[in-house]
Amino acid sequence: MKTLHIAFLSLLAVSSAVANGGGYATISSKTAGPFQPIGIDQVEILSERLNIDLHIEYATIRVEYLLHNPGKKVKIEAGFPVSETPPQYVMPGTPAPVTDPKTRLATAVTEKLQGFEATLDGKPLEFELVPDKLDLKNIGPAGADRSVTGWYKVKFNFDAGQARKLSVTYRQNSLGRFTYLFSAAGMWQGPIRDGLVIVRPMGRPKAEIAFNHPKRFEWKEDHWEWAFHDFEPTLEDDLELQEPSKTWKQHFDTREVNAANSKTGLDGFYVAEGGEWVDDRFRAKKWEAHHSSYQIKASSELPEENGLNYRAENLRQRNEEHAWVEGVPGDGLGESLVITPNKPARIQQIGIVNGYARSDELYEANGRVSALDVSVNGGKPIRVLIPDERLNFRMFYFDLPASKEVVKNIKLTVAGVYPGAKFHDTAISRIVLVQPLDKAPGVIPIR
């Protein structure tokens, strides 16, 4: 799975970039893409307002520019690059990255075309998608393992002395890594006079997000914030958010590890936190098993229909082709699942894939859980809020109530629902138990 990045008018579209940013390297015509900006060096950016909502698997970006033309009338052609970066995080069973250039470009363009919108002074602005194949490796500190696969090109006119408001919204995959190219603004006249960046973690713990410029951002209640003035960005200023090394986790399929003499016999995948590869093998001090070695019963199940079943047993499967769907009238408030580990064990967390995650259409059509009451061994339940996000490669994890006893059973009661657009029911696609291990689970396969 690729991680795609869009930012405002990348310098990499031109053969030479020596604008006010000062940090740009000269790029030869051999590496320059087919898109050439026009007129932007006459226009200044009075303000930039950037909002990034960082979800579990993707980010939504809303950026608003106030542009000013201090000179004579000019025609603008500007581009928003679609770049491609290998993901930091890959779940077991994820398809291998696409390497064929034509297929890679087609996939990138299709994914980024969805949700991309631009407006000028509040009115929709047409854009054209220009394919490209531009390798960015070794170009600047933020250019490693990244390439431009296309451009969203926009055109508009500026009268002399005119100020115009340009707004862009889009959705971007962010499996553990997110990049925003501030350096692109160096192509315009003068510095960015005023700017504000707001980053909100949506369903992700604060500890799992690290900034490449942490001193710039201040935490305020539920988001990070950075205000700047007279900012002349260089390549060093490009914003990168990623999971810090202390929380970054390497995943191994248990079917491979168990075949290599692991004795745990758990069905799922193993997680090594903060480890590293040594002599072609992975070494880590902390290991977890994220497994489906449990029995499960539901208070109700939607009856089988057209050859499809909606039993609770579906939650143990390794894919989201099927789901558990409660079977009572209404949205399923108060319905429950009881999970019994095959062997009582120390279970610290639960990971879930919410909703009917087989497709976007099924996810939206059916209800999703917004809150669960979670009880361990019959103890007092705690309320857990679940984000409304269809997950393809990750899970949403939450902590179980602390207990000195091993876990014999867990009860999950539906306490809140995101209503479905078509059906009055509630679905969950997958559940795993997170069990810490005392030692590495056998021999780890060679890379």
CA-closest candidate to residue 348, choices 286, 298, 305: 286
- Phi first, then psi, for residue 251 (nearest 5°) are -110, 140
Residue 58 belongs to a domain: yes
* 27-66 confidence digits (pLDDT tens): 333 334 566 678 888 999 999 999 999 998 888 999 999 9
pLDDT digits over 292-303, tens only? 999 999 999 999
CATH code (residue 114): 2.60.40
The verdict on 206 and 318 lying in the same domain is no
The tokens 């009880």 sit on which residue? 375
Q: How many domains does the chain have?
A: 2
Of 147 and 187, the structure prediction assigns the larger pLDDT to 187
Nearest to 118 by CA among 177, 76, 175, 74: 76
pLDDT of residue 207: 83
What residue has token string 């799922």?
A: 268
Residues 180 and 87 in one domain: yes
Q: Is there a single domain that holds both residue 69 and residue 195?
A: yes
Whether 237 and 313 map to the same domain: the answer is no
pLDDT score, position 360: 92
pTM for the model stands at 0.78
Start-to-end Cα distance in the chain:
18
User: Burial code of 136-157, b = ≥16 C-beta within 10 A, e = fewer?
Assistant: beebbebbeebbbbbbbbbebe
Range of the domain at 422: 291-437
Is residue 96 included in any domain, yes or no? yes
Which tens digits make up the pLDDT trace of 340-381? 999 999 999 999 999 999 999 999 999 999 999 999 999 999
Supply the DSSP string of 369-419, one letter for each residue. Answer: EEEEEEEETT---EEEE------SS--EEEEPPP-SSPB--EEEEEEEEE-
